[in-house]
Structure 1
Amino acid sequence: MAYDDSRFRGEPGFREEPDFRSGGVPEDAPTLGVSNQSVYTPGSYPVSPAYGAPSESTLGLSASRRRTPTAQQLGDVFDDPEHGEPGRDRLAVHALWEMVLLLAAAALLYLLHDASPAALRGTELQSLLLSGAELGLVAMAVGLTLRAGAPNLAVGPIAFAAALFFASNSDRGLAMTAAITGLISVGVGVVIAVLVVAFHVPGWAASFGVALALVSWIADQRDQKIVTGAYDPHHHALWWALAVLVVAVGGAALGLIRSVRRSVGRFRPVHDPADRRGGGAATVTGLSIAGSALLAAMAGVLIALDERSVAAADGSASIGGLTLTGLALGAALAGGTSAYGRRGGLFGTILAVAVITLLLRYTAAEGWSLPPFALGAGAIALGLVVTRLVETFGRPRITPDDAGEDSWTPPSITAQAEPDNDWSPPSSHTGSWPSSPGGGADGGWGVEERWGTR
């Protein structure tokens, strides 16, 4: 007796079922969420929005989610992808502090004029300008390496060693001797740079070791060295001071450009200070250290020409080298250059040099005893406080974009989550899907095989 015998049609409890063997699907059969507009082909599964088909917004192609990055965001990416802080450093703290330094320099200038008017005229003024130029060159050298994140503490001994070498060989021609002095000093800077960037060690440690070696060499020079050339820089003292001013402000102005600022300061420690910062950071830092040695050599040549003689027998040159390092470091820090690297102002260093130079000359005019070592120590202490102010108020201001509330990220294709394979028929159709005696989740009809697995 066939299952579909017509004798049973119309009897109570009889239910007519569709024949799935022919592949036909009745119009009133459950569609598993597939719309009537979907086209079914054997071996494929119809795509329906009910199953979460990928859309443009899911693939990240929606215009609302493909917001064009701003120039600032792109600049942040290319400045320092791993550790760069988003945004531009704030310079208001530098401007305010430089106003304080300017007022201090003006007050000291007035006090010096009141205490000794002759100090601002004639040869006294020329000597004052040359002293400021010499200290300014060494302070620029320290400031350059501070911005690079590898402070060179050997600049003072390099300057006095250069002065001794230049004075002892000045009979061979001033220009040639000055050039050779500069090359030797750059060689010393290269030695420090190799120690710092090749082994990735702190600049202050490597440079201080070299400074002690130079102090030892200076102490072995027994005779007083006399400059035999005819050039006297006192006749061009104003031009020397202006040249140092232009170089200092010009270099600081370049440091205001964000790409230059971050390139020079990329050796600045981040996270683990022992982590290497890459070849670009090492190259820029090495050039900065070598450049600082050249600036120190220029200061040494100017010291020799100014003093006309350099004595090392009494140890004054050795002490003077370390003292000069302390004064220059104090001037750079007190001028607003951060001890951590990268950050600095525009006129701060040169104004701090002016304050220190005027203060030394004013205390001498008043007959007070102010050891340069003590002044250097005070300037460094003040500079550390300024560093804290610069790091606190000079950081880029955090914006909603930087905080991630509306930040731009490159569009990416998001993998579509697999739909749940454990589909169960709606509760409303429970009564119309009987299980076959053979068992099985699909009632023995082979629905999984016919419609394909997902």
Structure 2
Amino acid sequence: MAYDEATYRRPGGEPADNDPAAYRRRVQFEDTTGNTLDQSPRSPSSTGAIPLPDTDGRDRLGIHLGWEVILLVVTGVLGFFLFREDAAALQRPALDTLLVTGASIGLLTLGAGLSLRAGVPNLALGPVALAAAFQYAENGDKGLAESVVPALILGAAGALAVALLVLVLHVPGWAATLVAGLAAIVFVQLRPEPVVVQGDWDPTGQAFILFGAFAGLALLGGMLGAISPIRRFLGRMRPVGDPALRRGAAAALPVLLALVLSTLFAVGAGVLIAASADGPIVPDTGMEWSGIALGLAMLAGTSAYGRRGGIFGTLFAVTALTLFLDFANRTDLNIALFAIAASVLLGGLVVTRIVESYASPASSVAGPDWNAAPSSGTVWSPDLPETWNSPSEPAKRSDRWDDGPWGAGR
């Protein structure tokens, strides 16, 4: 039982620190949010689930909004540099291509953010997108439905298989999705030569619709993620306490939704990449796009631990990177995508540290003051015997070394 149950609280609301019986019944575990979890030496509940943190609703959005203002300023600066380099880059038809590129990167980032929030980061996003690009490139002449629907079905089936692997074996999501990503790389590398895109569908004709759809999904996801019950529902698989203890049946649905939707987003991104490509699709690993997607999601304000996230950050981060990639292409900077992925991931880790440090109220971040005097009013003195006395009832002493609050005899 947790230390703050009514049975073990004084009338003033403080835990009964001087109650040896209460102390012996609890062993507390505090996570980085200040949440106290019951780690008493007893068997798990009948469902096998462990207690989940319930402090998600206490986040402060101020740090996220402040960081999003910085992202907006960076986006504006990059747009200014791109406009100064080539004003036609922000005018049609070049703008249509830019928007389609942003929509494809945005879909990957949405998938990464969703899987992070659910505690099952999807490392297969890039390879899946590349495999979907090959699927469309080889079958685009059969029509959009016949070339895209099989890719969506295969992607959903693979995501379900990975979700079952995570749930049945209770293994980390990043490890299971890495297996899926390697399998997608094998599918891609079975093609020794580049594949010329078949078909004539041009997504730039719906560029504003595609980018608008991504922007709407990004804002909707950010607003839903700010609602604490939804966050708690989605984050049941996040690692808390003993990783060997299962999260229970309630964690199955969020894992299934996160992995299936993130994989479908990756398939859609791959189709857009192939349909808007100027040349053939070249066999590769696609892992650089997984790094970019996860890095952008964290750079947007989504914590690597999945607990926290902003509202506008995904939209601003994706737009900034899209502008930067176009600027780098027009100025022949020749920066490798893996280098960009590593840089974005590094920046995302820094942002994770910031939001984890400052997104919680000070009361939940600060730990207990072990040097403070007992709240009961009893002042400790070196001349006094070392006891767990309360003001009204002395504690019983024992000659056994393992008795008492620090002993094993409980």
The interval holding the TM-score normalised by the smaller chain is 0.7 to 0.9
> Separation in 1 of the partners of 2:194 and 2:330?
28
Note if contact 2:140-2:200 (Cα within 8 Å) is conserved in structure 1.
no
Over residues 163-208 of structure 1, what are the superposed CA-to-partner deviations in whole Å (9 max), with x where a residue is unaligned? 1112212233212321221111111111221121211111111111
Distance in 2 of aligned mates of 1:91 and 1:333 = 15
Q: Cα gap change, 1:197/1:81 in structure 2, threshold over 3 Å: closer, same or farther?
A: closer
**One-letter amino acid of the structure 2 residue matched with residue 82 of structure 1:** P
Secondary structure in 2 matching 1:171: helix
| 1:286 partnered with 2:251 | no
Q: Which secondary structure does the structure 2 equivalent of 1:351 belong to?
A: helix
| Distance across 2 between alignment mates of 1:370 and 1:236 | 29
Match of 2:240 in 1: 270
Q: What displacement does 1:308 show? A: 6.5
- Secondary structure at the aligned position of 1:143 is classed as helix
Q: Does the CA-based 8 Å contact 1:181-1:297 persist in structure 2? A: yes
> Which residue number in structure 2 is paired with residue 326 of structure 1?
291
Q: Is the 8 A contact 1:85 1:396 kept in 2?
A: no
Q: Which residue number corresponds to residue 355 of structure 1?
A: 320
> How far 1:130 moved relative to its partner?
1.0
Of 162, 166, 185, the residue aligned with 2:136 is: 166
Cα shift readout 1:82-103 (whole Å, capped 9, x = no counterpart): 2324452211111111111000
- TM alignment of 1:24-39, pairs within 5 A: none
Partner of 1:153: 123
Distance 2:251 2:120 in 1: 11
Paired residue for 2:389?
A: none
TM-superposed deviation, 1:107 = 0.5
Cα distance, 1:113 vs. partner?
0.5
1:229 is matched with 199
Contact 1:227/1:308, CA 8 A, preserved across alignment: no
Q: CA deviation at 1:147?
A: 0.4
Residue 84 (structure 1) aligns with = 53
In structure 2, give the amino acid aligned to 1:84: P
What CA RMSD, in Å, does the superposition of the two structures yield over aligned residues? 2.7
Q: Is the CA contact 2:137–2:281 (under 8 Å) kept in the aligned structure 1?
A: no
* Distance in 1 of aligned mates of 2:71 and 2:227: 23
Q: 1:364: Cα distance to partner? A: 2.4
Match of 1:200 in 2: 170
2:330 is matched with which residue: 352, 365, 390?
Answer: 365
1:346 to 2:323 alignment: no
Deviation at 1:333, TM superposition (A): 0.9
Question: What one-letter code is carried by the residue in structure 2 that aligns with 1:235?
Answer: G
| Contact persistence 1:334–1:386 (CA under 8 A) | yes
Report the AA paired with residue 358 of structure 2.
Answer: F
Report the Cα offset of residue 397 of structure 1. 4.9
Matches within 5 A, 1:410-429: none
* Between 171-180 and 386-395, the greater mean CA deviation after superposition: 171-180
1:153–1:325 CA contact under 8 A, matched in 2: yes
Cα displacement (A) at 1:241: 0.8
CA gap 1:224/1:374 in 2 versus in 1, 3 angstroms: closer
Q: Any conservation in 2 of the 1:226–1:308 contact (CA below 8 Å)?
A: no
Percent sequence identity over aligned pairs:
40
Contact 1:268–1:340 (CA under 8 A) maintained in structure 2: yes
User: Quick one: distance in 2 between partners of 1:311 and 1:230?
Assistant: 15
Q: Quick check: 272-281 or 137-146, which moved more?
A: 272-281
> Are the structure 2 counterparts of residues 230 and 365 from structure 1 closer, same or farther at C-alpha, using a change threshold of 3 Å?
closer
1:219 aligns with 2:189: yes
Secondary structure, aligned partner of 1:307: coil
The residue matched to 2:58 in structure 1 has which SS?
coil
* Shift, 1:372, TM fit: 1.5
The yes-or-no answer on 1:383 pairing with 2:348 is yes
Q: Residues 113-262 of structure 1: matches in 2 within 5 Å?
A: 113-262=83-232
Name stretches of at least 5 consecutive residues in structure 1 with no aligned partner: 1-59, 66-79, 404-454
Letter in 1 for 2:89: A
Partner of 1:8: none
Q: Aligned partners of 1:208 and 1:369: how far apart in 2? A: 28
The number of residues matched between the two structures is 326
Separation in structure 2 between the aligned mates of residue 365 and residue 228 of structure 1, nearest angstrom: 27
Summarize the Cα distance change of 1:367–1:311 in structure 2 as closer, same or farther, 3 Å threshold. Answer: closer
Whichever residue aligns with residue 272 of structure 1, its letter is D
Give the Cα separation in 2 of the matches to 1:176 and 1:396.
52
1 CA distance for matches of 2:241 and 2:63? Answer: 25
**Residues 254 and 385 of structure 1: is their aligned pair in 2 closer, same or farther, counting only changes over 3 Å?**
same
Over 3 Å counting, the alpha-carbon distance change for 1:347 and 1:308 in structure 2 is same
Give CA deviations for 1:207-266 in whole Å, capped at 9, x if unaligned. Answer: 112211211221111354344433211112121111111111112211111110111112
Asked if 2 retains the 8 angstrom alpha-carbon contact of 1:193 and 1:285, the reply is yes
One-letter amino acid matched to 2:52: H
Seen in structure 2, the aligned counterparts of structure 1 residues 165 and 334 have a Cα distance that, compared at 3 Å, is: same
Contact 1:135 1:353 in 2 (8 A): yes
How much does 1:81 deviate?
A: 8.8
1:309 Cα deviation from its structure 2 partner: 5.6
Change (3 A) 1:138 1:360: same
Q: Once the 2 structures are TM-superposed, how far is the Cα of residue 143 of structure 1 from its aligned partner?
A: 0.7
- Structure 1 contact 333–386 (Cα < 8 Å) conserved: yes
Q: Distance in 2 between matches of 1:216 and 1:95?
A: 41
Determine if contact 2:139/2:199 at 8 Å carries over to the other structure: no
Counterpart-to-counterpart distance in 1, 2:136 and 2:153 = 12
Partner Cα separation in structure 1 for residue 192 and residue 210 of structure 2: 31
**Rg comparison, structure with higher value:** 1
Distance 1:360 1:308 in 2: 16
| 5+ long unaligned stretches in structure 2 | 1-6, 13-48, 369-410
List structure 1 runs of 4+ shifted beyond 4 angstroms: none
